[in-house]
């Protein structure tokens, strides 16, 4: 879950920047080697930015760097 915490910290710093977007979140996540892209794609299969806010990211260890819409931040979640 350390990978998800690390990515959440990076993304939460970016969330505070003006005009933060899904594309900026994805660009930052692409630089994180621990992101499991096939699992991330499956996790966000029904993703709707109008409703969901920002994408969540699946990590190689099974943890999730999840967007928390009500809190407007990312948080690490344990393996499901």
pTM above 0.85, yes or no: yes
Local structure of residue 36 (DSSP, 8 states): -
Residue found under tokens 């699992």:
39
Give the mean model confidence (pLDDT) for residues 32-60.
93
Domain boundaries, given as residue ranges, for the chain: 2-77
Closest Cα to residue 68, out of 15, 6, 1, 10? Answer: 15
Q: d(Cα 51, Cα 40) in Å, to the nearest integer?
A: 18
Contact 8, 75 (CB under 8 A): yes
Encode pLDDT of 51-75 as tens digits. Answer: 888 999 999 999 999 999 889 999 9
């Amino acid at each position: 879950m350390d990978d998800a915490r690390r990515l959440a910290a990076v993304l939460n710093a970016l969330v505070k920047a003006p005009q933060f977007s899904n594309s900026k979140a994805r660009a930052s996540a692409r630089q994180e080697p621990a992101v499991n892209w096939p699992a991330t794609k499956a996790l966000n299969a029904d993703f709707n930015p109008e409703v969901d806010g920002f994408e969540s990211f699946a990590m190689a260890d099974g943890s999730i760097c999840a967007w928390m819409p009500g809190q407007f931040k990312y948080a690490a979640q344990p393996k499901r």
